[in-house]
Amino acid sequence: MIPITTFAGQTVAVFGLGGSGLFAARALNEGGANVIAFDDAPLRLEQAKAAGIATQNLSELDWSQVEALVLAPGVPLTHPMPHWTVQLASQAGVEIIGDIELFCRERAKAHETLGIDCPLVAITGTNGKSTTTALTTHLINSAGGDAQMGGNIGVPVLALEPFAPGRSYVLEVSSYQIDLAPSLRATVGILLNVSEDHIDRHGSLENYAALKALLVAQIEKGGTAVIGIDDLHTRAAADRIERAGRNVVRVSVTGPLRDGYYAEGNRIVRAVGGKAYPAAQLAGIGSLRGVHNAQNAACAVAACVALGLQLPDIQKALVSFPGLAHRMQPIGRKPIAGGAILYVNDSKATNADSAAKALASYQDIFWIAGGKPKTGGIESLAEFWPRIRKAYLIGEAAKEFAGTLDGKVPYEIVEVLSAAADTATRDAEASGLKEAIVLLSPACASFDQYPNFEVRGKAFTDLVLALPGVASVTRTV
C-alpha cells in the first residue's frame, strides 16, 4: 500500500468504500490524515470499521473543517446530477478528488523531498485500455524492470507497492478517474481512441472526448503523448497538443504515417521523417490477434521506446504476452464432425465498438449478445453480419437487438447465458464447419443479470467447460 502523507494532520472525507475507496481511506489513515468515511451500503461501512476507519454520515459533517472529499470514481460528479456529497463539498468550497489524484500528489512529493523518480505510464481510451495497460506492464517487467500495474484495471492504485528507486507505474485511467485527478501528469500518456460511451455520466460526447484528451495534454515536462489518431476526436487532440509544444507520437492502424508507428499487416512499423523501420512483429501471437490489438501493441511499443526499452527486448516480450481474461479469451474447444468448436469469452466487450473488435477477428460466428444496452445499440456492427451464422440474444437488450437483426442475421431470443451456450453449441455441432466460433461478445453492460463483466465471463466459462466433450484451452502463442 502507498501511504498518503500529503494530507497529514488534516480532515479528509471519503465517500464510496468499494475497492479503491477503502484503500484510499486506509492509505490516508496510514499517512496521518483524519479520515471520515461513508457509504450507502451497510456492509461496506462494516468493512471500513473493521479496517479501523472512522465512519460517519457525511450529511451530518461540519464541512468547514474538511480539507478534501475523496470520491469513488463511480459516484456522479456532474451528470446526470451531482451526488449529494458533491453538492455539500462544493457549497463548502471543499476540493473533490479521487484516489488517482492522491497517488499523483504523493508521487510528486516523493520526487521533490526524497529524490525518488518513478516513471508513470497512464493509459486511457474508450476501448483497449486494459489490454494496453497489461501489455505495457508485461513489456517493462520482461525487460527486467519493476512496473506496478493498477487503476481502472481492477487493482486500486493505492494498493500498489510504495515509491522506490527504479520502480515505475502503469495505470489504466477511466474518464471518471481523470475527472477527479487534476494533478495527473504522466511520463508517458496514451490515448488509444474515443467513441461514444458514458454519455450519461459526462453529458455529451464532446465532454467525454475532452476529458480523455486531458490525460495526454497534461503530460509532465519532457514527457511523451502517444495518441492513436484513427478517429476524429483523437486526431484533433494530437494536432492540438503538438501545437502546444508537447512531444506527440502518433499511432495508426489504418494507413502509413510520415512520423510515428503504424500497422502494416502483422508488422508494427516505426516511421521517422518518412522513412520506415521495422519495430515489431505480431504474426503468430494469439493474444494480440486483430487490428484493434495491433493498435494496442503499437501504443505499448511506442510507450516503452519512450521509456528507453530496446526493440529486441520488446519483441521477445510481445511473444510471451498471455493476454487478458474476458477479452477475446479462448476458453474451450470441442471436436465435431469435420472440425471443432472454439469457445471465446469476450465478456469485456460492453459496447458495440468493443464487440466489433472480436467480430472482425473471426469467421463463422455463433454470437451470444445482449445484456443492459448502451446508447446506439448494435446498428454500427452491420458490416459484420456476413460473419455471423446465428445470434443468441440475452438480457434486457434481446428484443432491441432482435429488431436490428431481423431479416439480416438469423437469431434466437434465449434470455439467459446458460440457454445461449447450449443452443449455440447445438447449432455449431450441426454446422459441419471446420472451425465454428461460439463467441460471447455482448456489446452490452452486464448489470441486468450480473454484477460486472468478470462475473459474466466466469459464468460463461463455467458453462462451457461443463459441456460434454469440451476441453479447456489457453491462448495459442
Say yes or no to pLDDT of 87 above 80: yes
Q: Is the peptide bond before 80 cis (omega within 30 degrees of 0)?
A: yes
pLDDT of res. 197: 60
Say yes or no to pLDDT of 353 above 70: yes
| Whole-number Å distance between alpha carbons of 230 and 388 | 26
| Whole-number Å distance between alpha carbons of 377 and 400 | 8
For 105-171, the three-class secondary structure string (H helix, E strand, C coil) is HHHHHHHHHHCCCCCEEEEECCCCHHHHHHHHHHHHHHCCCEEEEEECCCCCHHHCCCCCCCEEEEE
What's the pLDDT band for 294 if we cut at 50, 70, 90? very high
Say yes or no to pLDDT of 406 above 70: yes
**Across 269-284, average pLDDT:** 96
| Cβ-contact 250, 259 below 8 angstroms | yes
pLDDT of res. 198: 60
In a 3-state reduction of DSSP, which class is residue 281? strand
- Average pLDDT across the chain, whole number: 94
pLDDT of res. 201: 62
Please report which residue ranges of 274-397 form alpha helices under DSSP H: 291-306, 311-319, 352-359
Say yes or no to pLDDT of 150 above 60: yes
Torsion of Cα atoms, 155 then 158 then 161 then 163, to 10°? 140
Q: What is the pLDDT of residues 17-28, one digit of tens each?
A: 988 999 999 999
Say yes or no to pLDDT of 203 above 90: no
pLDDT of res. 30: 97
Quick one: what percent of the chain has pLDDT higher than 90? 87
Q: How far is CA 44 from CA 27, 49, 75, 252, in A?
A: 17, 9, 15, 44
Q: What strand order describes the sheet that includes 247-252?
A: 146-151, 167-172, 120-124, 188-191, 224-228, 247-252, 260-264, 267-272, 275-281
pLDDT of res. 200: 61
Q: Report the b/e string of 262-276 with b at 16+ CB within 10 A.
A: bbeeeebbbbeeeee
Place of cell 477479452: 327
pLDDT of res. 322: 86
What's the pLDDT band for 196 if we cut at 50, 70, 90? low
Q: How far is CA 427 from CA 314, 359, 436, in A?
A: 42, 18, 10
Q: What is the pLDDT of residues 102-117, one digit of tens each?
A: 999 999 999 999 999 9
